[in-house]
């Protein structure tokens, strides 16, 4: 049975399960940060997914990133996978503005101080839900 890594669970909230993966939003206000997690057990590397599921995941990330970028006037869409702290396979999609406090550096390791308020959670979730219908 699929079990979400505790760190991801504590730092994000679920928006939707879609195409055998979870769509989650990181609970930070400064950047629009989405995490996509395949719900198959024991996945660590991208190569652990079969080619069809891998293509679905990556294409979804690219298309969702383009959609969110156009809706929020973001400057850059970052898609990345590290897995050094959380080994469970997950993909990061981060919408960046030159005005975000981590710019131009990476978001990983930056100490974001503000959690999302309920209105921002709802707005970001609704954008994702509009895309993934």
The predicted-structure confidence for 95-106, as pLDDT tens digits, reads as follows: 999 999 999 999
Q: What is the DSSP letter of 33?
A: E
Condensed to tens digits (0 to 9), the pLDDT of residues 24-47 reads 999 999 999 999 999 999 999 999
Condensed to tens digits (0 to 9), the pLDDT of residues 2-26 reads 999 999 999 999 999 998 999 999 9
How high is the pLDDT of residue 133?
63
| Cβ atoms of 65 and 56 closer than 8 Å | no
**Residue 1 confidence class, pLDDT cut points 50, 70, 90:** confident
Mean pLDDT of 113-132: 96
Query: Would you state the structure tokens that stand for residue 37, as one six-digit string?
Result: 């997690």
Sequence spans of domains, the chain:
6-102+109-131
Instruction: Give the separation between CA 27 and CA 45, rounded to whole angstroms.
Output: 25
Q: Which residue has the tokens 């999302």?
A: 116
Q: Which CATH number applies to 6-102+109-131?
A: 3.30.428.10
Mean pLDDT of 54-75: 96
Rg over CA atoms, the chain: 14
Q: What is the DSSP letter of 123?
A: H
Condensed to tens digits (0 to 9), the pLDDT of residues 44-63 reads 999 999 999 999 999 999 99
How high is the pLDDT of residue 84?
85
Which three-class secondary structure state does DSSP give residue 113? Answer: coil
Condensed to tens digits (0 to 9), the pLDDT of residues 108-120 reads 889 999 999 999 9
């Amino acid at each position: 049975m699929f079990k979400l890594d505790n760190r991801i669970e504590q730092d994000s909230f679920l928006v939707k399960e879609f195409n055998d993966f979870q769509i989650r939003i990181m609970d930070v206000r400064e950047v629009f940060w989405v995490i996509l997690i395949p719900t198959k057990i024991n996945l660590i590397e991208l190569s652990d997914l079969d080619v069809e599921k891998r293509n679905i995941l990556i294409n979804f990330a690219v298309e969702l990133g383009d959609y969110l970028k156009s809706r929020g006037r973001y400057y850059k869409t970052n898609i990345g996978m590290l897995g050094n702290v959380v080994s469970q396979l997950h993909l990061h999609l981060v919408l960046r503005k030159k005005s975000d406090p981590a710019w131009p550096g990476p978001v990983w390791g930056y100490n974001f101080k503000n959690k999302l308020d309920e209105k921002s959670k709802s707005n970001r979730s609704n954008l994702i839900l509009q895309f993934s219908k």
